[in-house]
Structure 1
Amino acid sequence: MAVVIRLRREGKKGRPQYRIVVADKRCPTNGKYIEEVGFYDPMVEAPQGYRLKLQRVSYWLKQGAKPTETVDQIIKKVSKLETKDN
């Protein structure tokens, strides 16, 4: 089973919000998913617009899950913000 970490669109028309989910690659984008690991709101500034469970993301990456390009950028931004806070 090929597993990916990708965005799942939610929200209203013109006001997108995304859930970051771990899903089987064969499932539709807004279909079933294995686990929700965070969210992304592009309409809000960086620190409040992202929330990510970094421990779960790292677990899934170790299991072989491949993030999409956008999710990979979000992971890098969030991990950079986490290191600045600590």
Structure 2
Amino acid sequence: MVSGQSVRVKSYSPPGHVRTPYYLRGKTGIVERVLGPFPNPEQLAYGLKAEPQPLCRVRFSMAEVWGKATDNPSDTIEAEIYSHWLEELDT
């Protein structure tokens, strides 16, 4: 993952401790920046050894998240999402 890259949040719903907001699953955004590798909190929650995963700040348009009928479709929302939840898209 690199800044400026288009990504889609994976849309699966695994059981247990998940750190990716449900309302962003399946949505497309742009990596605003890569924050660095951090231990995966989804593994840490169960006391497992957590390998470092790149954490990315991803920007989504409000139209992408809430639909074109949203009050301000060109506004954005950002979320920090671990790379194992992101699919790289061709730009």
Confirm or deny a common fold (TM above 0.5). no
Q: Report which of the two has the higher share of helix.
A: 1
Greater radius of gyration (CA): 2
Which TM-score applies when normalising by structure 1?
Answer: 0.26
Which TM-score applies when normalising by structure 2?
Answer: 0.26
Greater relative CO (CA pairs within 8 A, separation 6+): 2
